[in-house]
């Protein structure tokens, strides 16, 4: 990988994170006409409002506020929660770890199912299995996460009583119980991802199967397996990395809803709670962490892709 | 002696939404051992479908309606897949058209070569690798050991095609099918590949089916030639006979359409005064990026002159900069140096006023993208008319000039054929009554018979209007028929600028002579030419 | 126009999508007239009635008829989703076209910034904006529009760039046409089609996003019969009355599917195919 390319990518992610921080700050602190009123509500006393303004530094000019906020961030200080009075950072990072666990399990399940499904659908193109899969995945992308989650709740937790409805048990405490509590959230997120990704894998695979080089490989008399695994799959699966990276963003959005429904104390839940309690530093921290995770995921995907696709390296 | 391949009365149809489409109709061909049969047809003739039928790689909607394809006595039609898999690649090889797409971009070249050796000749990995290096050496590739480890995008088109050829020859097949193997390559590279092929033929005595749209090329390469039109074989003859004595009308037209440098189509002489001149012209490709500006010079220090009513041919291989000059002269790219027009100096794009724009028109290569798909033909022509002092009432006359009926004005581009679209593009250029029309490879995407008609049209228009042409092409034989003078470009520089009859003399630059050697005149005619 | 319609109806996706949406639009316009019962009518005796009899799709926790509520709910969701998408598309299209037109450094700078903005996932961005603006349908609509704008800018720019590189644009430049003509007469007619297709599919997302915001309590507010809100309110009664969730869920899915299908159908209908 050429160092120039790598340097450019690093510069880009730095720029991205900067813009993200600006955006989050602007929307939550700079834009509101009166952030103090927004935080405490309309009925707050003038004294309380003044106190909050001082506490959060809202009287300073906007750019100065941003600067203080940003430099604190770079030192690892995310501010003090207005709800708990504790530093926001540690709680957020703990929550993030739980969300990452959820995300990782979902991605793993998704890859394990979506990729084979997409490949089979492409190989049996036009057949009943393909059409059936197409319809199911169409449904999958037309249902918002909260609908899927609630339907799964009804089916698996309420009617069949197979899995617990809500709650969280850390894996370190009790592995099987922890898994059982994770199952429904992971299933919800995975289902939608599977619907989405299997369609893309199928479409990529169909393109590759019709490519000139796969045709050439067949006409060279290679075995079906060799054509599929050595020639077709390799080319079809590379874009999957990009797709997965894009889905991380989608997944983060879904996580917010899923954690809310299943009462999973991840970072999405932190955001919702922060919004409900009007806890400005917590809102900012959770939003920033989520966006930063997405940016980093994309960056890693870029690097992985470049590692595998030799053509890009020589840019 | 039994033929290697014998096709008897083979008929093939495709099921489409509009009903069955007959692609091959009662085709009968035979290829003897060691013989090369050329199959010539224009687009839609079914020649590629025949190749797929032989290789048994037909699409799902193909229906075979009869006939047999006998390979070494066995009928391939209806053969089970296992036995066919043993034949493919091992006893019948194939060389494809575009090596850039027929090689897997994610596998090293060596791997793609050795996999057939491992599969068909049952060699071990190491033995196959060694054999692969030998094969690459036989196809005249330098540093074969290093090349085995390279990826397709790291080597040139000619090198890729040699690897593909090596792979086809690797298992010592009885028959190799060549599907337009030099079409995607440059003229000189393509000529070298043909030489390689000639040599390999002598060494291995393999039989070949050489498919192409280029009659002249096939006649050089094959022993016998078959002409196919719309799924029917019209005639078969020995290669040198087909040019001298074609029997069917279609072949006659085809032969007549093949560009022959000695058959001069332009008989007049240009006027004395220059319409346009370029002095020290540099044309740039600019790609301004966020971090630094990357500017490349597509054409350097070009000086040439086009006189009234003259046809100046501009030839070169791809990347030589010939299209870049067209872009510079029409204000589509930034340039340095100067253009002289109507006594004025034009040093930058803003100097190109409406007088210049009117007098200098351009026609592009790809008929599909040069007409706005959302405009009707009438609108496309009305605009330049209105801009340059004509009126909408001139449209019928314009269409008539390019041999299209007036009702074409109501049509959309997607309702026209490639040749018809080019005619509209030409009409659009002539709507301004220009003094110079720049033709940027305008016939490169057309069938040879359509090309001949378009050239004839251009000459007729020139006779009527006295227009000059800057005719850009890579087809040397074509341009020698019509140009008064020829400019030769190589890697952005003007290498030669001479009157067309001086081309074969000693005045010509060595590169020009190389180009000439790579495009010899068609076989089977009275006067000999260089080559 | 009728030509496009004909081609649209020829594809199965187009026909089905159009049918679904026609029903939706009808429901939207006729609204309360079609509902068998007044959706706001509270009937304590009918609480939690399962589907059947008087309540075709059952009754909710306040005895309101689900069918009526779902039908009237279309009036909230559909116009807002459409408005949000159109607003987002328009603003995104302007940015994207300008960026493509400017080209070079400016184009790259704008696009890098757009990419950075898109690092904030859609729902997250919408949540933050609604948090600032305050809860409510109108604010939710604005939030969704803002969340969509960068994506549409990207799409428009990429289409505009492709069109710009076509030879017919070069021909226009070579003729000396002014920017106005080139952008509006040559480029725009060819840019519109792919943008329309993308917009149609985005409406499906807007429907889902709006429902999600309402579900989280930040979009439509009670007692509005918005589908997402209805599901949120029904969460507490999962056990007794699962139909409270299924009904609105199907409504959301059907709407989203309708727009997705229409978008797919338009993809075929709007591309001038070689008809010879």
Q: Do A313 and A257 meet the contact criterion of CB atoms below 8 Å apart?
A: no
Nearby residues of B340 by Cβ (< 8 Å), 6 or more positions away:
B274, B276, B277, B278, B279, B346
Decide if pLDDT at A161 tops 50.
yes
How would residue A33 be classed by pLDDT, with cut points 50, 70 and 90? low
DSSP for residue C65: B
pLDDT at A314 (0 to 100): 46
| Shortest Cα–Cα distance, A71 to chain B (Å) | 27
Q: Could you read off the pLDDT of B301-319 as tens digits, one per residue?
A: 999 999 999 999 999 988 8
Q: How many other CB atoms sit within 10 Å of the CB of residue A94?
A: 14
Q: Do C203 and C257 meet the contact criterion of CB atoms below 8 Å apart?
A: no
pLDDT at B377 (0 to 100): 94
Decide if pLDDT at A38 tops 90.
no
Nearest-CB residue to C104 (from B288, B414, B425): B288
Decide if pLDDT at A37 tops 80.
no
Q: Which one, of C146, C263, C153, C150, lies nearest residue C198 by Cα?
A: C263
Average pLDDT over residues C139-160: 93
pLDDT at B416 (0 to 100): 92
Nearby residues of B345 by Cβ (< 8 Å), 6 or more positions away:
B338, B339, B351
C150 CB near a chain A CB, below 8 Å? no
Nearby residues of B420 by Cβ (< 8 Å), 6 or more positions away:
B404, B408
pLDDT at A18 (0 to 100): 92
pLDDT at A299 (0 to 100): 86
Decide if pLDDT at B531 tops 60.
no
Residues in chain C, total: 276
- Cβ–Cβ gap B369/C108 under 8 Å: no
Q: B-side interface with A, Cβ within 8 Å?
A: 55, 57, 85-90, 94, 96, 98, 101-107, 115-116, 119-120, 151, 153, 164, 167, 291
Nearest-CB residue to B354 (from C108, C176, C272): C176
Chains in contact with chain C (at least 3 beta-carbon pairs closer than 8 A)? A, B
| Shortest Cα–Cα distance, B103 to chain A (Å) | 5
Cα separation, B333 vs B285, whole angstroms = 7
Average pLDDT, chain B: 89
Cα separation, B496 vs A70, whole angstroms = 64
Cα separation, A94 vs A170, whole angstroms = 11
pLDDT at B306 (0 to 100): 93
Q: Do B132 and B138 meet the contact criterion of CB atoms below 8 Å apart?
A: no
Cα separation, B294 vs C105, whole angstroms = 11
Q: Do B148 and B110 meet the contact criterion of CB atoms below 8 Å apart?
A: yes
Chain A residues within 8 A of C235 when measuring between CB atoms: 150, 261
Average pLDDT over residues B333-347: 90
Decide if pLDDT at C62 tops 80.
no
**A·C CB contacts under 8 A:** 131
Q: Which one, of B151, A276, B73, lies nearest residue C131 by Cα?
A: A276
- Cβ–Cβ gap A222/B115 under 8 Å: yes
Q: Which one, of B67, B160, B50, B155, lies nearest residue B113 by Cα?
A: B160
Chains in contact with chain A (at least 3 beta-carbon pairs closer than 8 A)? B, C
C-alpha atoms less than 13 angstroms from C-alpha of A193 in its C-beta half-sphere: 33
Of A49 and A198, which is predicted with more confidence? A198
Cα separation, C124 vs A288, whole angstroms = 10
The pairing of beta strand B493-499 with beta strand B468-473: unpaired
Nearest-CB residue to A257 (from C204, C212, C257): C212
Q: Do B67 and B6 meet the contact criterion of CB atoms below 8 Å apart?
A: no
Cα separation, A250 vs C20, whole angstroms = 27
Average pLDDT over residues A43-64: 78
Tell me phi and psi for residue B71, to 5 degrees: -115, 115
- Segment of A88-102, A246-260, C48-62 carrying the highest mean pLDDT: A88-102
pLDDT at B289 (0 to 100): 56
Q: Could you read off the pLDDT of B372-402 as tens digits, one per residue?
A: 999 999 999 999 998 888 888 989 999 999 9
- Cβ–Cβ gap B87/A311 under 8 Å: no
Lowest mean pLDDT among A111-115, B363-367, C101-105, C132-136: C101-105
Closest chain C residue to the Cα of A249, Cα to Cα: C121
Cα separation, C29 vs A214, whole angstroms = 53
Give the full edge-to-edge strand order of the sheet including B5-16: B19-31, B5-16, B62-71, B74-75
pLDDT at C273 (0 to 100): 63
Alpha carbon of B159 to those of A22, A185, B140, B345, C206: distances in Å?
A: 52, 54, 9, 45, 52
Average pLDDT over residues B491-505: 90
pLDDT at A312 (0 to 100): 54
Decide if pLDDT at B435 tops 90.
yes
Decide if pLDDT at C276 tops 50.
no
Q: Could you read off the pLDDT of B275-289 as tens digits, one per residue?
A: 999 999 999 876 655
Of A314 and A126, which is predicted with more confidence? A126
Distance in angstroms between the alpha carbons of the first and the last residue of chain A: 9
Of C97 and B465, which is predicted with more confidence? B465
pLDDT at B295 (0 to 100): 67
Q: How many other CB atoms sit within 10 Å of the CB of residue B143?
A: 11
Q: What dihedral angle (degrees, nearest 10) is formed by the CA atoms of C177, C178, C183, C186? A: -20
pLDDT at B293 (0 to 100): 58
pTM exceeds 0.90, yes or no: no
C-alpha atoms less than 13 angstroms from C-alpha of B115 in its C-beta half-sphere: 23
Give ipTM to 2 decimals.
0.86
pLDDT at B526 (0 to 100): 42
The vertex-B520 CA angle with B518 and B525, nearest 5°, equals 170
Average pLDDT, chain A: 84
Decide if pLDDT at B356 tops 60.
yes
Task: Map residue C152 onto helix, strand or coil.
Answer: helix
Cα separation, B295 vs B239, whole angstroms = 49
Q: Which one, of B452, B483, B453, lies nearest residue B264 by Cα?
A: B483
Q: Do C246 and A151 meet the contact criterion of CB atoms below 8 Å apart?
A: yes
- Cβ–Cβ gap C245/A154 under 8 Å: yes
Q: Angle at which helices C66-102 and C12-30 pack, to 10 degrees?
A: 120
Q: Which CATH architecture has domain B274-518?
A: 3-Layer(aba) Sandwich (3.40)
Chain C residues within 8 A of A24 when measuring between CB atoms: 120, 128
DSSP for residue A228: I
pLDDT at C274 (0 to 100): 47
Decide if pLDDT at C56 tops 90.
no
pLDDT at C202 (0 to 100): 93
C112 CB near a chain B CB, below 8 Å? yes
Nearest-CB residue to A146 (from C121, C127, C231): C231
Average pLDDT, chain C: 86
Domains and CATH numbers, chain C: 2-270 (1.10.3720.10)
Q: Which residue has the tokens 């050329």?
A: B38
What residue ranges in B289-380 does DSSP mark as E strands? 293-307, 311-316, 335-341, 344-346, 360-363
Q: Do B299 and B284 meet the contact criterion of CB atoms below 8 Å apart?
A: no
Q: In chain B, where are the structural domains located?
A: 274-518
Cα separation, B360 vs B352, whole angstroms = 10
Decide if pLDDT at A187 tops 70.
yes
pLDDT at B311 (0 to 100): 94
Q: Could you read off the pLDDT of B196-224 as tens digits, one per residue?
A: 998 998 888 899 999 999 888 888 889 99
Cα separation, C239 vs B468, whole angstroms = 86
- Cβ–Cβ gap B88/A223 under 8 Å: no
Residue B280 parent element (H or E): strand B274-288
Residues in chain A, total: 315
Nearby residues of B350 by Cβ (< 8 Å), 6 or more positions away:
none
Average pLDDT over residues C185-204: 90
Average pLDDT over residues C169-193: 87
């Amino acid at each position: 990988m050429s160092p120039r390319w790598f340097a450019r990518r690093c510069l880009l992610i730095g720029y991205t994170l900067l813009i993200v921080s600006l955006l989050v700050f602007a929307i939550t602190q700079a834009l509101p006409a009166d952030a103090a009123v927004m935080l405490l509500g309309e009925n707050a006393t003038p004294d309380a409002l003044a106190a909050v303004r001082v506490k959060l530094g809202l009287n300073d000019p906007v750019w100065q506020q941003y600067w203080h906020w940003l430099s604190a961030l770079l030192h690892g200080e995310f501010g003090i929660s207005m709800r708990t009075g504790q530093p926001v950072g540690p709680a957020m990072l703990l929550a993030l770890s739980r969300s990452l666990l959820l995300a990782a399990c979902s991605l793993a399940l998704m890859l394990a199912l979506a990729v084979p499904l997409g490949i089979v659908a492409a190989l049996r193109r036009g057949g009943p299995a393909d059409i059936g899969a197409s319809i199911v995945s169409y449904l999958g992308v037309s249902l918002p996460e909260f609908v899927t989650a609630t339907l799964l709740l009804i089916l698996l937790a309420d009617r069949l009583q197979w899995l617990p409805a809500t709650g969280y048990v850390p894996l370190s405490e009790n592995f099987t119980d922890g898994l059982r509590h994770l199952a429904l959230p992971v299933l919800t997120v995975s289902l939608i991802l599977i619907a989405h990704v299997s369609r893309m894998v199928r479409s990529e695979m169909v393109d590759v199967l019709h490519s000139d080089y796969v045709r050439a490989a067949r006409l060279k008399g290679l075995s079906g397996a060799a054509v599929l695994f050595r020639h077709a799959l390799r080319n079809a699966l590379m874009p999957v990395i990009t797709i997965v990276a894009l889905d991380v963003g989608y997944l983060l959005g879904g996580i917010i809803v899923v954690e809310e429904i299943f009462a999973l104390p991840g970072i999405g839940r932190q955001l919702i709670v922060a919004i409900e309690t009007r806890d400005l530093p917590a809102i900012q921290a959770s939003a920033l962490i989520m966006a930063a995770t997405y940016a980093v995921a994309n960056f890693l995907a870029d690097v992985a892709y470049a590692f595998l696709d030799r053509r890009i390296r020589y840019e | 002696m039994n033929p290697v391949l014998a096709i008897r009365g083979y008929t093939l149809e495709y099921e489409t939404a509009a009903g069955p489409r007959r692609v091959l109709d009662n085709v009968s061909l035979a290829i003897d051992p060691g013989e090369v049969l050329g199959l010539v047809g224009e687009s839609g003739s079914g020649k590629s479908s025949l190749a797929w039928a032989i290789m048994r790689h037909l699409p799902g909607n193909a229906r075979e309606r009869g006939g047999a394809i006998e390979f070494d006595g066995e009928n391939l039609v209806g053969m089970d897949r296992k036995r066919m898999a043993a034949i493919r690649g091992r006893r019948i090889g194939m060389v494809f058209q575009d090596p850039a797409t027929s090689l897997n971009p994610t596998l090293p070249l060596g791997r793609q070569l050795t996999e057939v050796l491992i599969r068909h000749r049952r060699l071990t990995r190491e033995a196959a690798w060694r054999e692969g290096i030998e094969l690459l050496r036989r196809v005249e590739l330098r540093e074969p050991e290093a090349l085995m480890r390279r990826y397709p995008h790291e080597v040139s088109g000619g090198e890729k095609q040699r690897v593909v050829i090596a792979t086809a020859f690797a298992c010592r097949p009885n028959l190799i099918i060549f599907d337009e193997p030099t079409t995607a390559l440059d003229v000189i590279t393509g000529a070298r590949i043909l030489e390689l092929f000639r040599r390999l033929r002598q060494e291995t005595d393999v039989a070949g089916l050489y498919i192409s749209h280029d009659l002249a090329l096939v006649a050089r390469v094959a022993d016998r030639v078959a002409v196919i039109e719309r799924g029917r074989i019209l005639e078969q003859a020995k290669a040198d006979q087909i040019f001298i004595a074609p029997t069917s009308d279609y072949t006659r037209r085809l032969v007549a359409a093949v560009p022959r440098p000695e058959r001069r189509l332009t008989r007049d002489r240009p006027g004395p005064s220059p319409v346009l001149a370029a002095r020290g012209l540099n044309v740039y490709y600019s790609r301004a990026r966020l971090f630094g500006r990357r500017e490349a010079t597509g054409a350097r220090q070009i000086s040439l002159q086009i006189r009234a009513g003259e046809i100046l041919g501009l030839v070169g291989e791809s990347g030589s900069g010939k299209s870049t000059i067209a872009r510079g002269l029409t204000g589509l790219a930034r340039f340095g140096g100067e253009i002289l027009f109507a006594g004025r100096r034009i040093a930058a794009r803003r100097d190109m006023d409406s007088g210049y724009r009117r007098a200098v028109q351009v026609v592009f290569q790809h008929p599909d993208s040069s007409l706005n798909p959302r405009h009707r033909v009438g609108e496309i022509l009305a605009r330049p008319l209105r801009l340059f002092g004509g009126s909408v009432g001139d449209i019928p006359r314009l269409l008539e000039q390019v041999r299209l009926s007036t009702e074409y004005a109501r049509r959309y581009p997607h309702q026209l054929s490639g040749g018809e679209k080019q005619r509209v593009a030409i009409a659009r250029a002539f709507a301004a009554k220009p003094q110079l029309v720049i033709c940027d490879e305008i016939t490169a995407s057309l069938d040879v018979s359509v090309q001949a008609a378009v050239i004839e049209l251009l000459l007729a228009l020139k006779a009527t209007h006295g227009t000059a042409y800057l005719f850009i092409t890579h087809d040397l034989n074509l341009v020698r028929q019509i140009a008064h003078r020829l400019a030769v470009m190589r890697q952005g520089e003007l290498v030669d600028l001479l009157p067309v009859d001086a081309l074969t003399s000693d005045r010509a630059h060595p590169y020009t002579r190389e180009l000439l050697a790579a495009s010899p005149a068609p076989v089977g005619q009275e006067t000999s030419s260089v080559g | 126009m009728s030509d496009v319609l004909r081609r649209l109806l020829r594809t199965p996706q187009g026909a089905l999508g159009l049918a679904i949406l026609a029903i939706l639009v009808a429901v939207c316009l006729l609204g309360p007239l079609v509902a068998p019962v007044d959706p706001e009518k509270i009937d304590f005796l009918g609480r939690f009635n399962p589907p059947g009899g008087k309540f075709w799709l059952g009754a909710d926790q306040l005895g309101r008829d689900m069918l009526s509520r779902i039908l009237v709910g279309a009036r909230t969701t559909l116009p807002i989703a459409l408005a949000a998408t159109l607003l987002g598309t328009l603003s995104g299209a302007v940015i994207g076209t300008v960026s493509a037109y400017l080209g070079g450094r400016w184009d790259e700078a704008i696009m890098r910034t757009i990419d950075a903005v898109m690092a904030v996932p859609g729902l997250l961005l919408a949540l933050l904006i609604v948090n600032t603006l305050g809860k409510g349908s109108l604010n939710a609509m604005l939030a969704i529009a803002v969340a969509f704008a960068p994506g549409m800018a990207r799409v428009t720019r990429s289409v505009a760039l492709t069109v710009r590189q076509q030879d017919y644009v070069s021909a226009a430049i070579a003729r000396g046409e002014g920017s106005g003509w080139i952008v509006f007469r040559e480029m725009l007619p060819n840019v519109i089609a792919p943008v329309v297709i993308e917009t149609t599919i985005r409406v499906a997302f807007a429907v889902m996003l709006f429902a999600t915001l309402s579900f989280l309590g930040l979009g439509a507010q009670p007692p509005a019969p918005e589908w997402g809100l209805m599901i949120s309110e029904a969460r507490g009664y999962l056990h007794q009355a699962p139909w409270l969730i299924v009904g609105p869920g199907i409504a959301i899915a059907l709407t989203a599917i309708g727009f997705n299908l229409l978008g797919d159908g338009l993809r075929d209908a709007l591309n001038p195919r070689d008809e010879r």
